[in-house]
Structure 1
Amino acid sequence: MQDVKNFLKNELKTHFSPEEISSLTRLILEKEFSIPLADILTCKFNHLSDAAVKKLSEIIDKLKNAEPIQYILGETDFFGLPFYLDSSVLIPRPETEELVQWVITSTNNASAKILDIGTGSGCIAVTLAKKLPHAEVHAWDISPDALEVARKNAERNGVHLFFLEKDILQESVSDKMFDIIVSNPPYVTESEKSDMEDNVLRFEPHLALFVTDENALVFYEKIADFARIYLNKGGVLFFEINREKGCQVEALLQQRGFKNIERVKDISGNERMIKAVKE
């Protein structure tokens, strides 16, 4: 096992920090090769098969090419739950876990009807269905590939969701009313691309990430307009937001008559979430 650890360290030392290499080593050995964490930490495992060594070399090559480990392994954890991933969906971020926690702690209706717009991997919708087992959770996305990933994650986590392929920018009609609408829509502007990591730009779906600088709030506007009609009285709208756009998102919600608007910072101190109530 120490030989394997040293091999990974030597191969990856020009691409990652020692802390990152340690984390990657544990992920690869635990997730890909099913080696218990205790054995990894105590170096009790003696050898890998030839096939496993070949697979390990393939993983290393992908990491050197900046491919995210979550796509390489085809899975990640979110809110303590396992999620299947591929490059048709974004890799869930810790900030989105904070958004989900806010929704859960704000919900006092055990049988709430919840809509997640732009569900992607389903991380928000699946987690809400898991943590609020009496809720009715709907998940919409424009991408059929993303919906297929979300369906796999619902099945994997033993929850039932109502899925719909829908472009919220084009369609604003629903045959249902909701108590909660939540969305983590595309909010990174084109001008912010230069500040982003190369592995994000090369591997994660741009459809789920970017908006034009000229129309940076288009998803917030469309979803807020939709929520004005299809949220029940007293219903709550939750957004994840661009840290630079909190004031603007709050203003557009005020213009549409939403009340009790709250903006919250994430664990890094960036404004990342907003909540508003329909009177």
Structure 2
Amino acid sequence: MTLQQLQSNFNNQLKSIYPKEEIGSFFQWLAEAYLGYSRFKVSEKKDEEISEKNETQFLSALTRLMHHEPIQYIIGETEFYGLPFKVTPAVLIPRPETEELVAWVLEEFKNQEPENSILDIGTGSGCIAISLARYLGNATISALDISEAAIEVARENSVINKVDVNFFQADILNAETLPQQYDAIVSNPPYVRQQEKSKMQPNVLQHEPEVALFVSNEDPLLFYRAIARLAKKHLTSDGTLYLEINEYLSKEMQQMLQQEGFAEIALKKDIFGKFRMLKCKLYSY
């Protein structure tokens, strides 16, 4: 089978499931992963015969795509903030809006001296913590997660990106203390309400870890409240809490944080104009 025939097969098999542009992107990801071919080279080598091994890899990926498995899990990696990250079904696939949260923290801490201490709560793949460690040479970065499997993936990603991050396991819903004081605490916790599942794609619902995504309709701010209470004890006097939030719950978030003793609450919109980020400080009496 030639590369062109293989691509045609992909288009025919997936056209009833995905948009044409997305199918093209899938094929390019796989060509890069399995053949090392750029988009230009795929076009240049369209008449090249594919080896049996590579054909098997592509057809296996095709079957998995037909079952809505995310392409990132199929090839086992993705990119976040310009850095490579291994991903497995044990961790959430990093989102572009989380890159915006990282950019906000970097903007405010990149020129600060002396050394700052920053904690990432619910690290998953380690994308937030590792990106901060990579681009903030003057900071000590720590990260926690409830999942041992997630921490193992995050540790591998710290090695891939040649950064030092202090990883540890903890359940923030039951934790009463953290190891030290921090100049910033950053988190992208579970915030999608069960009632919002109908708006989500099958590839997310069927394959990404529910524990990293969903909260109950009755108490959607459960994790934020726990983070806020830990932050009250473990932020330095001028420390800042940064959160990725549910776009539908920004007012509720502000009210909760005010009740928990936080001030200077600033909401930030993502590139789509939705309130998806928030920062605040402890109220100074």
Question: Normalising by structure 1, what TM-score?
Answer: 0.96
1:128 maps to what in 2? 132
Corresponding residue for 2:9?
7
Contact 2:73–2:87, Cα closer than 8 Å, also in 1: yes
Tell me which amino acid in the other structure corresponds to 1:39.
Answer: K
2:88 to 86, 91, 99: 86
One-letter amino acid of the counterpart of residue 158, structure 2 = A
Q: Within 1, Cα distance between the matches of 2:15 and 2:49?
A: 22
TM-score, L = length of structure 2 = 0.94
**1:186 Cα offset (Å):** 0.4
Pairwise CA distance, 1:267:
1.2
**What is the one-letter code of the residue matched to 1:209?**
L
The yes-or-no answer on 1:217 pairing with 2:221 is yes
* Residue 237 of structure 2 corresponds to residue 233 of structure 1: yes
The count of corresponding residues between Structure 1 and Structure 2 is: 279
Matched, 1:101 2:99: no
Residue deviations 1:122-173, cap 9 Å, x none? Answer: 0000000001022100010000000001001000000010011000110121
Partner residue, 1:161: 165
Match of 2:218, SS?
helix
Matched, 1:263 2:267: yes
Q: Which of 202, 226, 240 in structure 2 is aligned with 1:198?
A: 202
Which residue in the other structure is 1:54 paired with?
A: 56
CA separation in 2, counterparts of 1:45 and 1:132?
A: 46
Seq. identity, %:
43
- The within-5 A match list for 1:146-185 is 146-185=150-189
Contact between 1:39 and 1:45, CA under 8 Å: does it hold in 2?
no
Unaligned runs of 5+ in 1: none
Q: Which runs of 5+ in 2 are unaligned?
A: none
SS in 2 for 1:274: strand
- For the residues of structure 1 that align with 2:34 and 2:93, how far apart are their CA atoms? 18
Aligned AA (2:76)? G
Task: Write the deviation string for residues 41-76 of structure 1: whole angstroms up to 9, x where unpaired.
Answer: 433672210111011110000000100101111100
**Aligned partners of 2:47 and 2:126: how far apart in 1?**
35
4+ residue segments displaced more than 4 Å: none
Q: 1:175 and 1:30 mapped to 2: Cα distance?
A: 42
